[in-house]
Chain A
Amino acid sequence: GNSVTQMEGPVTLSEEAFLTINCTYTATGYPSLFWYVQYPGEGLQLLLKATKADDKGSNKGFEATYRKETTSFHLEKGSVQVSDSAVYFCALNQAGTALIFGKGTTLSVSS
């Protein structure tokens, strides 16, 4: 069946450092891929998405590229801020099926 694997956290960075959170997936066909973010005390919200191979999703300085050859959708940001501290979830979805989440990666950014 479909699945999503994320790098385990926590990830601890200093402000302005470069961020990568790895995500790989297993799926039949061509899923859509997502990154959701959960700030402390809040629900999940969509950060970015990509619907086909080689698409790049971007939002708030974060980017992720849908790589079908490596079945990956790694999240990157060039310069993190303290306000980026949150839990990040990679997820996949195929039309007519439920969203499947990775286990989440906690990011902690210090000033």
Chain B
Amino acid sequence: EAQVTQNPRYLITVTGKKLTVTCSQNMNHEYMSWYRQDPGLGLRQIYYSMNVEVTDKGDVPEGYKVSRKEKRNFPLILESPSPNQTSLYFCASSLWGQGVNEQYFGPGTRLTVT
């Protein structure tokens, strides 16, 4: 089954404790992206990657890091989480380039930073 998986689904942590949210897709997609969803703000893109070893900042990259060492994986790293990073996070993937490229979303990770 074609899918994007994220882990963990729920995470409660404390300020400053490094964490990683994993994202994996099995569709051989070039493009992967991380979003955060906050009430009244919709989805905002954090980082994206157009292929292995190619990443770039989205609209709200501060406080986050990513890496793309393999095509299927795109982890999101919070080196020193703060309470303003409490949010619902989504990973997505798609083909990249010409044509209409539907994005497939993971189920979301709800992060609470206290």
A residues near B, CB below 8 A?
32, 34, 36, 42-46, 49, 51, 89, 93, 95-96, 98-99, 101-104
Number of A-B contacts (CB under 8 A): 49
Contact: B105 with A93, CB < 8 Å? no
* Cα distance A42–B3 in the bound complex, in angstroms: 13
Q: Which of B42, B90, B105 touches A103 (beta carbons < 8 Å)?
A: B42
Q: Does B60 have its Cβ within 8 Å of any Cβ on chain A? A: no
B residues near A, CB below 8 A?
4, 33, 40-43, 45, 48, 58, 90, 92, 94, 96-103, 105-108
The 9 closest A-B pairs by CB, nearest first: A103-B42, A43-B105, A44-B105, A32-B100, A101-B43, A43-B107, A104-B42, A51-B100, A46-B102
Contact: B105 with A96, CB < 8 Å? no
B100 surroundings in chain A (CB, below 8 A): 32, 49, 51, 93
A46 surroundings in chain B (CB, below 8 A): 102-103
Nearest neighbor of A32 in chain B, beta-carbon distance: B100
Q: Which of B4, B101, B107 touches A93 (beta carbons < 8 Å)?
A: B101
Can you name 22 A-B pairs with beta carbons within 8 Å? A32-B100, A36-B105, A43-B90, A43-B105, A43-B106, A43-B107, A44-B43, A44-B105, A46-B103, A49-B100, A93-B100, A95-B98, A95-B99, A96-B97, A98-B48, A98-B58, A99-B33, A99-B92, A99-B103, A101-B42, A103-B40, A104-B43
